[in-house]
Structure 1
Amino acid sequence: MVNFSRENLQLKVCPGRTQFKDLQARREAEERRKFPLERRLKEHIIGQEGAINTVASAIRRKENGWYDEEHPLVFLFLGSSGIGKTELAKQVARYMHKDVKKGFIRMDMSEFQEKHEVAKFIGSPPGYVGHEEGGQLTKLLRACPNAVVLFDEVDKAHPDVLTIMLQLFDEGRLTDGKGKTIECKDAIFIMTSNVASDDIAQHALQLRQEAEEVSRRKLADNLEDVQKGDDIKISRQFKETVIRPILKAHFRRDEFLGRINEIVYFLPFSHSELLQLVIKELSFWAKKAKQRHDITLKWDRPVLDLLAGGYNLHYGARSIKHEVHGLLCNPCSEASESNAFCFGLFKSW
């Protein structure tokens, strides 16, 4: 007689489940080896090789068990606006989670500039308005404790919010307004800030000046050389003597900065990277022109240089978008209205 007891069934089911998990883990490790995170990120982000390598290395340590599992992984992204900080956070979430909508949490810290707005962050305590609704962050973290959480423009947050974040980074847990604790040690927290962005940009421009001159001489008409960026590194001395004092003066607490695993620096685009941005933006509108109007857009090399010249250090890639809108989309719109596609900027049309 066969005994179909609960114990016997468990003995037969568990080994198969364990073998499946081991097999799945080996497949994921093999996929990471063949298609590393750096390569995935570079498919979506132009330039910022130093930032990509720093983030990928930290996540690789986490994936392979070479990290302190008692604390979550915490990044601080520094650099000018429109330079790829938010996009890199999104791509990390896409890599870590199949369901990006659930696995990526974005908090605009400019909404938490006042002391009373802390309640929106973790929820109001009992007896206060909004207690039953809970906090914006706690609700989302409870639904996905291992999410990639982006704290955008963290330098604008009230100091009391930073105190809550310190507990979150240090202990990997967060207590909401209802007194319930959320364990989120497996989450990845990314903060972005424009603090010291001018200092970083000017230092990077000094380092890049000589390299950029070399890059310009090497560029060829076939644009294949444009795909190569200029890899420069911020010196340790600059980080310690210039950037860290600025961060300490702004955040006013060493323990907060001490819980950051990696401070990641985003640098101004080189000329070759600007050309890539221009090509990407022109290709986007060329596709739209073909789909919407059955019009084929073409351009010569001087057009790329002209549009790249509209780069603004403070607005990053957004300034390239604005330049293309002004010099391409506006004339195209007017020409479409008058049914006359003929103007001087794009001579190869």
Structure 2
Amino acid sequence: MGLLVVASCCFGGMDGDRRKNEREFILAAMVGNIDRMKEFLEKGVDVNCCHPYGWTALHTAAVNRRSQVVKFLLDSGADPNVQDNFSNIYQVARENRTSPISVEVLRESEFTTLLRHDQMYRGCTALHYAVLADDHESIQTLLSAGANPLITNEYRFKPEDYSRDIGMKTMMQKHSERYIAEQKQKQVEERRKFPLEQRIKQRIIGQEGAITTVCGAIRRKENGWYDEEHPLVFLFLGSSGIGKTELAKQVAEYLHKGKKNAFIRIDMSEYQQKHEVAKFIGSPPGYIGHDEGGQLTQKLRASPNAVVLFDEVEKAHPDVLTILLQLFDEGRLTDGKGKTIDCKDAIFIMTSNLASDEIAEYGIQLRAEADKINQQRYEGRPEDLEITETITISRRFKEKIVRPVLKNHFQRDEFLGRINEIVYFVPFSRSELLKLVRMELERWAKQAKEKHNIELNWDPMVFDVLADGYNVYYGARSIKHEVERRLVNQLAMAHETGLITPGCTVFVYADLPKSEAEKYKLQDSPSPIKIRVKSKGTDSFTDVDPSAHLKSSGQEHDKK
């Protein structure tokens, strides 16, 4: 638990004077010279700067029992949760192409003589070092400043694990319990103000039903209204590109605040053969690769409460499904070495394209019915574009259409019975497609500005034209490809031929048919997307046709 903040040491672009000042600042912390440290801070030295080998001034003060320096640094803005990047003298020597003795001498002269330098210290915080140094005053100061007593180092040891007496250990355990309670209360307040549904809808367009179902199950789990003997299991069904993977990622982000190993993604297409089961949970002793461990078991052991995504689960071998059944039923997993991993607190999400065609066709039918109702209700007013149609998958469709497909593939009622929620992802509505197009255009406008200093604007009619490129079987990816094919290709060609240059403004519009006769002729072909350019220093826009310009340039080149 806790935020992992590793001190990064990038000195390549720093001048010699600054590097020297930072090392002397850290040395001043080692000897307790606060006046000298103030001088360096006034010169612009960063209070969180780190030594080339990984430690900071706060680490140095804590390990040397400089409690007044610890307080001064924290008051000056030092981060109490920065972690030491020093591993041990042998590894640092290899990384810096020097001898272990040289590293040991430097560590003792610029950090401390109180530790064994052949041991691993990477990941230690100032609180780890204060406990190692048995400095009660620094410990209290650090905890009062927000030091996280739950952060683990490379060995997965918390600060309390280095306590040498029962009194110290008891005190640290109480602080850990208090910290957990405070963090839970903060999370409760934060989630009350900013619910999970609201967070997810900022990142995912559409899928109201799927989001509601998943958030309801997560809320039950968070508040203790679930079966604690079994993990929470979802099956996400629907076509590609409609948010299944993204929703899983957002759940992990919400629950674990971006912790790297808290989201585990397993591509089940890699486990289609019987012999690949060993790769999943690890080979038994005596077999090749038994020391390596399995891809799933290794990751679950490191983070037993992770959100685990089994992507395209229908492609996995039946023996792998047997392992998943044990995992879902008992909340534990036995690896190839016979060791058991308890992961009842994990959340397992399977994605599948099974019945995706049926769901897509049914979704389109429901969308059409919803559109008809909305047209009758709102009579086509402009604000109707913002309406989000919430469609409900009928129980009959689930039982008569989808369940037989799942049962026919998995061949096991008990496997389907261990799934808490089957979540349906349906095709996008028209209003959702327009939002997807807007999102893509805004992304390209940002890139045009940042990379090329080109302003990109558009007529709202462009949204409708590009939204027509939607393919129900490829989801949002089809919109992405349509924008690239019909607009970005033109921009790249115009850039290459010099029609658009840094500082110019590009206006994108749709050349729509003007008469009913033209509309009839063009009803089966998309209206072309065109661009106008206003060069830097001018007031008017000029129509440009990059493909025609490129063609004429080629003809002139052939004549020459």
Report the TM-score, using the length of structure 1 for normalisation: 0.92
1:235, distance to aligned residue in structure 2 (A): 0.8
**1:337 equivalenced with 2:496 (yes/no):** yes
Q: Could you say which residue in structure 2 is the equivalent of 1:163?
A: 322
Q: Could you say which residue in structure 1 is the equivalent of 2:396?
A: 237
CA 1:161–1:7 in structure 2 vs 1: closer, same or farther (change >3 Å)? closer
Q: Report the Cα distance in structure 2 between the residues aligned to 1:282 and 1:314, rounded to whole angstroms.
A: 22
SS of the residue 2:455 aligns to: coil
Letter in 1 for 2:255: M
CA 1:14–1:108 in structure 2 vs 1: closer, same or farther (change >3 Å)? closer
Percent identity for Structure 1 against Structure 2 = 65
Larger Rg: 2
CA deviation profile, 1:260-307 (whole Å, cap 9, x unmatched) = 000000000000000000000010001111112221111112211111
Q: Could you say which residue in structure 1 is the equivalent of 2:415?
A: 256
Which structure is richer in relative contact order (CA contacts within 8 A, separation 6 or more)?
1
For structure 2, list consecutive stretches of 5 or more residues without a partner in the other structure: 1-164, 501-505, 512-528, 534-560
Question: Is the deviation greater in 331-340 or in 25-34?
Answer: 25-34
Q: Could you say which residue in structure 2 is the equivalent of 1:102?
A: 261
1:219, distance to aligned residue in structure 2 (A): 5.5
Q: Could you say which residue in structure 1 is the equivalent of 2:353?
A: 194
1:337, distance to aligned residue in structure 2 (A): 0.9
Q: Report the Cα distance in structure 2 between the residues aligned to 1:133 and 1:226, rounded to whole angstroms.
A: 54
1:215, distance to aligned residue in structure 2 (A): 5.2
SS of the residue 2:253 aligns to: helix
**1:57 equivalenced with 2:57 (yes/no):** no
Q: Could you say which residue in structure 1 is the equivalent of 2:446?
A: 287
Q: Could you say which residue in structure 2 is the equivalent of 1:267?
A: 426
1:328, distance to aligned residue in structure 2 (A): 0.9
1:22, distance to aligned residue in structure 2 (A): 3.0
1:9, distance to aligned residue in structure 2 (A): 6.5
SS of the residue 1:272 aligns to: helix
1:8, distance to aligned residue in structure 2 (A): 6.6
Q: Report the Cα distance in structure 1 between the residues aligned to 2:338 and 2:202, rounded to whole angstroms.
A: 43
Question: Is the deviation greater in 211-220 or in 57-66?
Answer: 211-220
| Candidates 366, 369, 385, aligned match of 1:207 | 366
State the number of aligned residues.
Answer: 342
Q: Could you say which residue in structure 1 is the equivalent of 2:3?
A: none
Letter in 2 for 1:189: F
Contact kept, 8 Å, 1:226 with 1:276, in 2: the verdict is no
**1:140 equivalenced with 2:324 (yes/no):** no
Q: Report the Cα distance in structure 1 between the residues aligned to 2:173 and 2:295, rounded to whole angstroms.
A: 38
Question: Is the deviation greater in 105-114 or in 207-216?
Answer: 207-216
Q: Report the Cα distance in structure 1 between the residues aligned to 2:172 and 2:219, rounded to whole angstroms.
A: 32
Q: Report the Cα distance in structure 2 between the residues aligned to 1:128 and 1:14, rounded to whole angstroms.
A: 42
Contact kept, 8 Å, 1:81 with 1:316, in 2: the verdict is yes
Contact kept, 8 Å, 1:122 with 1:137, in 2: the verdict is yes
For structure 1, list consecutive stretches of 5 or more residues without a partner in the other structure: 1-5
CA deviation profile, 1:164-198 (whole Å, cap 9, x unmatched) = 00000000111111111111000000000000011
Q: Could you say which residue in structure 2 is the equivalent of 1:90?
A: 249
SS of the residue 1:83 aligns to: coil
SS of the residue 2:286 aligns to: coil
**1:78 equivalenced with 2:242 (yes/no):** no
SS of the residue 1:298 aligns to: strand
Q: Report the Cα distance in structure 2 between the residues aligned to 1:156 and 1:48, rounded to whole angstroms.
A: 25
Contact kept, 8 Å, 2:264 with 2:299, in 1: the verdict is yes
Contact kept, 8 Å, 1:299 with 1:348, in 2: the verdict is no
CA 1:101–1:228 in structure 2 vs 1: closer, same or farther (change >3 Å)? farther
CA 1:75–1:339 in structure 2 vs 1: closer, same or farther (change >3 Å)? same
CA 1:68–1:171 in structure 2 vs 1: closer, same or farther (change >3 Å)? same
1:85, distance to aligned residue in structure 2 (A): 0.2
SS of the residue 1:74 aligns to: strand
Contact kept, 8 Å, 2:360 with 2:473, in 1: the verdict is no
| Candidates 274, 297, 306, aligned match of 1:115 | 274
1:225, distance to aligned residue in structure 2 (A): 5.0
Question: Is the deviation greater in 283-292 or in 293-302?
Answer: 293-302
1:29, distance to aligned residue in structure 2 (A): 1.3
Q: Could you say which residue in structure 1 is the equivalent of 2:477?
A: 318
More helix by share: 1
CA 1:140–1:219 in structure 2 vs 1: closer, same or farther (change >3 Å)? farther
Q: Report the Cα distance in structure 2 between the residues aligned to 1:26 and 1:145, rounded to whole angstroms.
A: 23
Q: Report the Cα distance in structure 1 between the residues aligned to 2:347 and 2:389, rounded to whole angstroms.
A: 29
SS of the residue 2:236 aligns to: strand
Q: Could you say which residue in structure 1 is the equivalent of 2:405?
A: 246
SS of the residue 1:297 aligns to: strand
1:25, distance to aligned residue in structure 2 (A): 2.1
Question: Is the deviation greater in 43-52 or in 13-22?
Answer: 13-22
> CA RMSD, aligned part only?
2.1
CA deviation profile, 1:298-342 (whole Å, cap 9, x unmatched) = 111221111100000110000001100101110101100111148
SS of the residue 2:309 aligns to: strand
Q: Could you say which residue in structure 1 is the equivalent of 2:89?
A: none
Poorly superposed stretches of 4+, deviation over 6 Å: 6-13
1:99, distance to aligned residue in structure 2 (A): 3.7
CA 1:229–1:331 in structure 2 vs 1: closer, same or farther (change >3 Å)? same
**1:128 equivalenced with 2:283 (yes/no):** no
SS of the residue 2:442 aligns to: helix
CA 1:63–1:72 in structure 2 vs 1: closer, same or farther (change >3 Å)? same
1:201, distance to aligned residue in structure 2 (A): 1.0
